Every structure is written in C-alpha cells, then in structure tokens.
C-alpha cells in the first residue's frame, strides 16, 4: 500500500511516497522500519504509542490505534503536527 511520508522524515526515505505492506498499521510501520532503519522511532515511542506530534490517517480518516486493521487498497498518510509559539 502507498504511504505518504511527512517532510521531516524524508531523510530516511528520500521520497514522499513509499510502498509498505501489512495487515495492521503496526505491521506497516514494522515494514517501513525494515526498509528505512530508524524511521519507526520517530513516529512511535518506547511504550509503542503514537508520538504526540505524529498523526496517522487511513484513506483520509485519522486513526488513533496502531492495531487498526488495513486492507491492501488502503492509503496511509503520516503527518507531523506543527507546534510552536
């Protein structure tokens, strides 16, 4: 399935869209880690939770559970939330 990579993570992938596979978001993130070592830690913390500044969308709908089942035709968008003051 196609995964949109946010700008801050492009040093890992070198491209905006990558292909990854998995039956759940967890498995897709593991596949991304296999392809691009170190990328998962930027999105998922030590407790296997989504980092506060990362947002995950499946077919345009925000998801909050990394165990979310996926279909082979789903598209995933990873977005880094902006912060500042």
Is 22 within a domain? yes
Domain assignment of residue 26, given as a range: 2-68+75-80
Report pTM. 0.91
Is 43 within a domain? yes
- The DSSP call for residue 55 is E
Is 39 within a domain? yes
- DSSP for 18-30 reads EE---SBHHHHHH
Is 85 within a domain? no
Please answer whether residues 63 and 57 qualify as being in contact, where contact means their C-beta atoms are separated by less than 8 angstroms: yes
Domain count, the chain: 1
Is 59 within a domain? yes
Question: Residue 17 is part of a domain; what is its CATH number?
Answer: 3.10.20.30
- Residue 81 has a pLDDT of 80
Is the pLDDT reported for residue 70 higher than 70?
yes
């Amino acid at each position: 399935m196609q995964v949109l990579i946010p700008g801050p993570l492009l040093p890992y992938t070198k491209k905006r869209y990558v292909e990854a596979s998995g039956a759940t978001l967890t498995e897709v993130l593991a596949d991304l880690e296999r392809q691009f070592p170190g990328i998962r830690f930027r999105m998922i913390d030590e407790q296997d939770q989504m980092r506060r500044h990362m947002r995950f969308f499946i077919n345009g709908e925000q998801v909050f559970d990394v165990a979310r089942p996926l279909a082979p035709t789903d598209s995933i968008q990873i977005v880094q939330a902006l912060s500042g003051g």
